[in-house]
Structure 1
């Protein structure tokens, strides 16, 4: 079994009236190369009417976002001309690359009607030779994402990146990466073999899991050693897990605000380019 190095509890960091927890970066964990940031918004119930999500127009460069919509919705719009409203069970994949401006807000319907909301956003780094690539965006609804069952249907896997057996992921990543959203019923279990030299991203969104013999509750990120390959998971209650793995880049990383680059000079250039309007024009 792959040894558990440390369990990182998500820290409570509300944003306006949005319930938010983050396990990375914290004082105990800066990042797990190339996984660099996670915000877990909700679970909460919004009244009718409400202001919705507070993420108005803002820039990014040098990184990617993977956004998991478990409850509620997100209306995405960016300066490259992409737009969508993605509902429960859907996922958004945005590559900021050389730079764009985007907004992530709630749909007009959600702001009028209210309802349950739970959304997670994970930031992925980009390798140095792809930090200035052309921005892109793909938003998929739940029914557009390949899903398969294991353990007699007790475990349902949404395959997002890479392959799980014969099941191919919905998104084509910009570097080799495997990622799934895994829904487990109580007593559902699986084993996964991950190459020793790859970083593992393992975050429990809901429920409680027995991970390699250790009981771990939701809103915890598990950091593994790079010593063995097998991870064994069994649900002690209905649970949701985000599991990803990729080779680390082992490159210098400088993250400031919405920009993730390799040097401080590149960060300064990003701010200058943004202020000079080089991230595209924003029209409401």
Structure 2
């Protein structure tokens, strides 16, 4: 079995009135190549007539964002002309690539009625050969994401990307990456084989788990060594897990604000291109 290198507790990093825990990066872990960043917003309950999410128009280049809506909703709009409202159980997959501007706010319905909200956003790096691909957006509701049942129904894998137990996920990404959210009922178990060379991203959203003999809980990111293929997961409570794995790129990572490139020169060029209007036009 893979051994655990360290467990990292997400740090409190509220944004305005939005409860936020940042699991990556923190003082103890910068990235788990190619996984760059994770913000866990909520859980919290919004009152009726609220302002909703605060993420107005902003640019990105050089990576992908994957947004998981656990509760509430999120309305996406971008300079490529895409717009959608994704509700609980759905995901948004945005390839920023060569650059675009987007916003992520709550729907008018949510702002009017309020309710529970819990959303996670993961940033996944793109290798140098793909950093300047054309931007792309995919918005999927819960019903669009294949489910894989295991352990006599006590485990449900929501197959977001890659292939899980022979079932293709909803998204086939540019790189060899697998990504899923996994519901586990108390006592449920899941065994996976993941080649030792691959990076594992293992973040517990809710509940308590035991993985390869070590307990972990909500708001903890578990970092693994590259020394084994087997992962054994057992739910100590009802739990929700965000799990991904991928080949590391082993390329330079230069991140500044909303851009992630391979060099400082490329970061400067990103700012110049954004200021020159090359990321598209924002339509209110």
Give the TM interval when normalised to the shorter protein.
Answer: over 0.9
Residue 176 of structure 2 corresponds to 176
Task: Tell me the distance in 2 between the aligned counterparts of 1:19 and 1:164.
Answer: 32
Mapped pair 1:69 → 2:92: no
Q: For 1:17, what is the secondary structure of its paired residue?
A: coil
1:240 maps onto 2:243 in alignment: no
Say whether residues 1:217 and 2:217 are aligned partners: yes
1:166 to partner: Cα distance: 1.8
Show structure 1 runs of 4+ deviating over 2 A: none
Taking structure 2 as the reference length, the TM-score comes to: 0.99
What do residues 12-41 of structure 1 show as CA deviations (whole Å, max 9, x unaligned)?
000000000011100000000000000000
Given that 2:55 and 2:105 are in contact with CA atoms closer than 8 Å, whether structure 1 keeps it comes out as yes
Matched, 1:40 2:78: no
Instruction: State the shift of 1:155 in Å.
Output: 0.4
Show the counterpart of 2:114. Answer: 114
Deviation at 1:148, TM superposition (A): 1.7
Tell me the distance in 2 between the aligned counterparts of 1:252 and 1:210: 34
CA distance in 2 between partners of 1:36 and 1:128 (Å): 15
Cα deviation 1:82-115 (Å, max 9, x = unaligned) = 1100000000000000000000000000000000
Tell me whether 235-244 or 162-171 shows the greater mean CA deviation. 162-171
Superposed counterparts of 1:151-230, under 5 Å:
151-230=151-230
SS at match of 1:274: helix
The offset of 1:172, in angstroms, is 1.3
TM-score of the pair, normalised by structure 1: 0.99
Structure 1 residue 214: deviation in Å?
Answer: 1.0
Q: What secondary structure is seen at the aligned counterpart in 1 of 2:52?
A: coil
- Provide, for residues 58-78 of structure 1, a one-character-per-residue CA deviation record: whole Å limited to 9, x for no partner: 000000000000000000000
Question: Structure 2: which 5+ runs fail to align?
Answer: none
| Gaps in structure 1 of 5+ consecutive residues | none
Q: Partners in 2 of 1:258 and 1:135 — Cα distance?
A: 15
The 3-state SS of whatever aligns with 1:196 is: coil
Hey, what's the Cα distance between the residues in 2 that align with 1:149 and 1:127?
Answer: 33
Task: Summarize deviations over 1:199-232 as a string: whole Å, max 9, x none.
Answer: 0000000000011111111100000000001111
- What RMSD over aligned residues (CA atoms) do the two structures have, in Å? 0.5
Partner of 1:53: 53
Pairwise CA distance, 1:131: 0.4
Partner of 1:26: 26
Shift of the alpha carbon at 1:165? Answer: 2.1
Distance 2:173 2:163 in 1: 12
* Aligned twin of 2:283: 283
- Deviation digits for residues 138-185 of structure 1 (CA, Å, limit 9, x no counterpart): 000000110121001000110011111221110010111011110001
SS, match of residue 277 in structure 1 = coil
Partner Cα distance (1:249, 1:79) in 2: 29
Given that 2:148 and 2:164 are in contact with CA atoms closer than 8 Å, whether structure 1 keeps it comes out as: no
Residue equivalent to 1:4 = 4
Deviations 1:243-281 (Å, cap 9, x if unpaired)?
100000000110000000000000001011101111000
Tell me the equivalent position of 1:268.
268
